[in-house]
Copies of this chain bind each other. A is one copy, B any other.
Amino acid sequence: MKILVVGANGQIGRHLVQSIQNSGEHVARAMVRKEEQVSHFKELGAETAVVDLEGEIEEIAKAADGVDAVVFTAGSGPKTGKDKTIMVDLDGAVKTIEATKKAGVKRFVIISSYDTTREAIQNAGESMAPYVVAKHYADEWLRGAGLDYTMIHPGLLTNDAGTGKVDVGPSVKADNVAREDIANVIFESLKNDATIGKEFKVINGQTPIQEALGNL
């Protein structure tokens, strides 16, 4: 499998490319924004593509050419303004979905946030609500896009080492989860077609990732 990782230079993205390359069997194509981010991924043996998510759909579609799956794990991050929340978390995600269709690729995994429902928007504080809204509409777009998608809603992301064990489900209780484990949930989801059309939350837990996804 060749997998385009959009947002490869993010923390989850870096773990994911590493896992894909470690497999020996699959290949990552790391999509990054800046030329200077490329070398890290080349050293891992991954393919690379330098594309700005604020650019045109056509550029993203070129990066998706010939891959078997696309993973969207980009995010504007908490340090940028709400303008980037709109441009990256919402519009960047939608453009990646449209680019995936344009490239003729069917399989898509999105890293959403923990809860993007209407209720979550209403319950979010004033500073978080715009982010939840952006993710809400990106998720809605994906649901209607006709792709073979999997939507992953991680708990509170930490930089702890992954344990390889998680709890997954439509309504697990909010808790921490290591970015490294999320990366492996993505990778295992791509290898398990039973996750197509599924949306689930992921937190640290007791069940090995493969088995947890098998129980969905």
Closest to A140 in B: B141
The 8 Å CB contact of A82, one of B57, B81, B94, is B81
Are A56 and B122 in contact, with the CB atoms below 8 A?
A: yes
Whether A86 touches B87, Cβ cut-off 8 Å, given contacts A56-B122, A137-B137, is no
Are B56 and A133 in contact, with the CB atoms below 8 A?
A: no
| Count of chain A residues with a beta carbon within 8 Å of a chain B beta carbon | 24
A18 to B155, CA, bound (A): 50
Interface of A toward B, CB cutoff 8 Å:
54-57, 81-83, 85-87, 90-91, 94, 118, 121-122, 126-127, 129-130, 133-134, 137, 144
Assembly of this chain: how many copies? 2
Whether A134 touches B82, Cβ cut-off 8 Å, given contacts A57-B118, A118-B57, A121-B91, is no
Are B82 and A133 in contact, with the CB atoms below 8 A?
A: no
Are B133 and A86 in contact, with the CB atoms below 8 A?
A: yes
A118 to B129, CA, bound (A): 25
A135 to B126, CA, bound (A): 21
Taking the closest CB of chain B, its distance from the CB of A28, in whole angstroms, is 28
23 pairs of residues in contact across A and B, judged by CB atoms under 8 Å? A54-B129, A56-B122, A81-B82, A82-B83, A82-B85, A82-B86, A82-B130, A83-B126, A83-B129, A83-B130, A85-B86, A86-B90, A86-B130, A86-B133, A86-B134, A87-B130, A90-B133, A90-B137, A91-B121, A91-B133, A94-B137, A137-B137, A144-B144
